[in-house]
Structure 1
Amino acid sequence: MILFLLAGWLVVLAVQVGCLLFLFARTALRPVADLAPPTAPTTGVTIVVCAHNEHDNLLELLPLLTAQDYPLYEVLVMDDRSTDLSDVLLDEMVTLLPNLRFIRIDVEAAHVTPKKYALTIALKKATYPVVLLTDADCRPASDQWLAGMVALLGNKDTEIVLGISPYERAPGLLNFLIRSETLFTAVQYVSLALAGRAYMGVGRNLLYRREVFFRHKGFYSHMRIWGGDDDLFVNEAATAQNVAVSLHPDTFTTSAPKRTWADWKRQKQRHLNVGRQYKNGDKAMLGLITASHVLTWLLGLGVAGYVLYLALTEQREALLNPMLLAATGLFVLRFGLFWGIIGRISHRLGAMVRWYAIPATDLLLASYYCLSTARMALTFRQKQTGW
């Protein structure tokens, strides 16, 4: 039995080390170009913000968007059935801020979810051939946000630019879990994009050409699914050649995370439902990464129990088992690589998690993924059996 346990642990550790060295290290070591290179394009851009009852956020955000250092752009706000006087605010701000306009949506479409309907209208009404998406509760890191994102369209094959959007830091376990999970999600989607396997982006910071949106019929294949206006669209439209990633800190956007466990739980449930719609190859890759992460710690606990048993029964010679020594050494290597590589990426992505907290993030995420998987399995069984 112990041989099977050690063999399994060696396999998952090898998978983890491989992911860290050959996948995640791409993000850790990727050079970041200076903003606004001489060949930066001057393509017109429409910044799109969908807002439902976001009066206070719009009051803060719109001056930042209209102050971007870029020669040709507009800011288009989609006021989606707001009841908090957002339309009154927007009427006033249009007269005060340059390049700002808004469209009011008064009815909810029957055939598509509200945000996807608002975004579809925005893509049809946008003045310019490129759109940059963000949310009302986001804040660009600098006035170079727009210019830096657009600069990556310099390659004629590039149609989609994935941006980074960290969450604000706050005290408490929930905030730490959200930042940890957001960090590891970014590690995965950025690293896979750099490897030519882009599978998602975040609508808080996402740029693409309008042409690619209409070529893929917008959100047609998932228009009734709540969420997915960002990651499912990228999952469909991305190729090995048409995606770039912006890692310059001036092109990040920050946003406020959920503040209650109930709100975060609803958000994660929506994300899980969307994730089920990914391409099979992407689901398999993400499943392998997640499963190996969880099993690294679960099997490690089993091995630790075995080692403790040997120590208590004074079977010291068994502690020199070559397979046990190899697995322990590989675990130490994996632990150090995770701390170093993920810590380096976290630093590059706005210090989502401080370097000294990366080991806690490692264990917390393994626990979270394990509990989430168990909960999904239980839910599936309840649906199958009816209890």
Structure 2
Amino acid sequence: MITTLLIAWLLVVSIQLIYILFIYSRTAFYRQPEIIVSGNENGTLAAGATLGVTIVVCARNELENLKELLPLLDAQEYPNFDVLVMDDRSSDGTQQYLDSVVTQFRYVRHMRIEKEHEHITPKKYALTIALKKTANPVVLLTDADCRPETNCWLAGMIAPLARAEKAITLGFSPYYYQPGFLNLLIRSETLFTAVQYFSLALASRPYMGVGRNLSYRTNLFFENKGFYSHINVTGGDDDLFINEVATGRNTAICLHPDTFVWSAPKTTWSEWRQQKHRHLHVGRYYKPGNKIRLAFLVGSHLLSWIFALAVGGVVLYHELEAVAFSPNEWLLLQLGTGVFVFRLLTFWGVVGRISYRLAHTVHWTFMPFMDVILAMYYGLASLKTLVIRPKKRIYWR
């Protein structure tokens, strides 16, 4: 029994090492292309393409956020773009605001959706209409509560699409820092999700993107019938769509800090739980291959810590009862401990480097703590997904 436990521990830790050394390291050491943009003082980013782009913002009752966001979008440095705000049945004065200020902006226009449709979730309907109404070959998506880091965001996200074979650019959207454990958990989960989807994309296995900072060609959307395959699924306007259409050949990533889009995090546990429940529910509809890869990733992370605790309990029992390990058990114990410690250090180094590149999302000194809390989070989230069925309710976002 002890031998089986030690072998299982060694196996799952080895799987973790494979992910860290051969998958995550791709993001840690990825060389972001440097391109020059006219007017950019630091001279590190430029529009590598002059493709026409429409920035799409779907908003419902986001008046105050739109007042802050639209000037930032209108000021983007790019030769050929517009901003399309999809006002989805807002009742907070959004329509009146947009009508009154649209002439003040060079690139902003807006449309209003008057009613909800039973055959499709509201946000997917708004996005579909937006893509039908744009004449530009590329769309760049964000949310009303997001804020681009610089006026080079658009140029940087579109630059990878200068290559004809690229149709998707995955960007990064960190959350603002706030004190408290909830904020640390949100930032940790956001960072590690980015580690996964960036790294697997670089390994030619893209599986998701985040709609707060995501770009793709409009013909990709229509050639794949848009959201048709998951039209009534709550959420998935970003990750389910990318899961369906992304390939190793057509997907690029952008890690330049000028292209980050910041968001305000949830501030209560109930709001955050509701948000994560929707995200976990959407994962049920991923392609089988993606689900298997993620199951190995998450499962090995969780089990490496569970087995470590179990092994620690066995060692403590042997010490208290003065029971000796057999030679084979002792060898496996030493080997497993060494590999586990090596895995801890490589996780700290590789994910810490990625965090440094991604806006210092989580300070490197918190990496070991983040390692543990993520294992706990994945365990609880997986259990909740298995035992709690999603409610038949349509959320806008």
Shorter-normalised TM range: over 0.9
Q: Is the 8 A contact 1:35 1:147 kept in 2?
A: no
Q: 1:4 to 1:218 in 2, by over 3 A?
A: same
1:273 alignment counterpart: 281
C-alpha distance in 2 between matches for 1:35 and 1:67: 19
Give the number of aligned pairs.
380
2:393 alignment counterpart: none
C-alpha distance in 1 between matches for 2:297 and 2:228: 30
What is the correspondence of 1:40-189 to structure 2 with a 5 Å cutoff? 40-189=48-197
1:341 alignment counterpart: 350
- Match of 2:141, SS state, is strand
C-alpha distance in 1 between matches for 2:330 and 2:257: 48
Within the candidate set 270, 287, 295, 2:303 is matched to 295
Per-residue CA distance 1:138-193 (angstroms, 9 max, x = gap): 00010100001111112110001001001111111111111111111100000000
C-alpha distance in 2 between matches for 1:323 and 1:369: 27
Per-residue CA distance 1:116-141 (angstroms, 9 max, x = gap): 00000000111311100000000001
1:383 alignment counterpart: none
Q: 1:180 to 1:39 in 2, by over 3 A?
A: closer
Within the candidate set 316, 320, 325, 1:312 is matched to 320
- Match of 2:311, SS state, is helix
- Match of 1:236, SS state, is helix
C-alpha distance in 2 between matches for 1:326 and 1:374: 31
**TM-score (ref. length: structure 2):** 0.93
C-alpha distance in 1 between matches for 2:73 and 2:361: 23
Per-residue CA distance 1:255-291 (angstroms, 9 max, x = gap): 0111111111111111111110000000000000000
C-alpha distance in 1 between matches for 2:118 and 2:124: 12
- Worse overlay, 18-27 or 315-324: 315-324
Q: Is the 8 A contact 2:74 2:105 kept in 1?
A: yes
C-alpha distance in 2 between matches for 1:243 and 1:379: 34
Is 2:26 aligned against 1:26? yes
Q: Is the 8 A contact 1:53 1:86 kept in 2?
A: yes
- Match of 2:215, SS state, is strand
- Worse overlay, 49-58 or 258-267: 258-267
Q: Is the 8 A contact 1:163 1:246 kept in 2?
A: yes
Is 2:337 aligned against 1:328? yes
C-alpha distance in 2 between matches for 1:366 and 1:318: 31
Which AA in structure 1 matches 2:11?
V
- Worse overlay, 56-65 or 366-375: 366-375
Identity %: 54
- Deviation >4 Å, runs of 4+: 315-320
Report the alpha carbon displacement of residue 38 of structure 1 after superposing the two structures with TM: 7.4
1:384 alignment counterpart: none
**TM-score (ref. length: structure 1):** 0.96
Within the candidate set 360, 381, 386, 2:369 is matched to 360
C-alpha distance in 1 between matches for 2:325 and 2:102: 78
Could you list the runs of 5+ residues in structure 1 that have no partner in the other structure?
A: 381-387
C-alpha distance in 2 between matches for 1:9 and 1:348: 31
Which AA in structure 1 matches 2:366?
A
Which AA in structure 1 matches 2:6?
L
C-alpha distance in 1 between matches for 2:61 and 2:254: 30
C-alpha distance in 2 between matches for 1:164 and 1:83: 31
Which AA in structure 2 matches 1:362?
D
